[in-house]
Amino acid sequence: MGPEMLQKKLEEEVESYKKIQKDLSKTTNLRSQLDGQLNENKVVQEELDLIDDESVVFKLIGPALIRQDLEEARQNVNKRVEYITQEIKRHDNTMDKLEKDADAKRESIGMLQQQMQQMIRKQMGK
């Protein structure tokens, strides 16, 4: 592989690495938002568990408070918690994969840089 090809390959790997880092940052931010949503819904879940079955529950829909069945409210919150938990796991898996990809790209970049340095040393030694 000539110096130009090596340089091109190195540039491609660096660009690929940058994209992985950008995707990882985006996924980490989304994961963080999901944590916030999960905590909020768990607080609601705990509050709904504390009230007795005769209590009246309202849901804010737009500017209006609409009466809602307590059991329906509990089920909705439980489903939301379950969904968010699944999304967190999915984002965790994506983050793990991206981190492994980033490690592989860093290793590839390091090897290409070493090859470039060896090539430069050989040319200077002539």
pLDDT tens, position by position, 37-77: 999 999 999 999 999 988 899 999 999 999 999 999 999 99
Contact 65, 79 (CB under 8 A): no
Residue 4 lies in a domain: no
Amino acid of residue 37: Q
Q: How confident is the model at residue 9 (pLDDT cuts 50, 70, 90)?
A: very high
pTM value surpassing 0.85: no
Q: If you average pLDDT over every residue of the chain, what do you get?
A: 94
Q: What are phi and psi of 74, to 5 degrees?
A: -60, -45
> What is d(CA 102, CA 24) in angstroms, rounded to the nearest whole number?
9
Residues 70-111: pLDDT tens digits? 999 999 999 999 999 999 999 999 999 999 999 999 999 999
CATH number for the domain spanning 99: value is 1.10.287.370
d(CA 89, CA 14): 29
Average pLDDT estimate for 16-44? 97
pLDDT of residue 1: 66
Total domains in the chain come to 1
Q: By residue range, what is the domain housing residue 99?
A: 39-125
Residue 60 counted as domain residue: yes
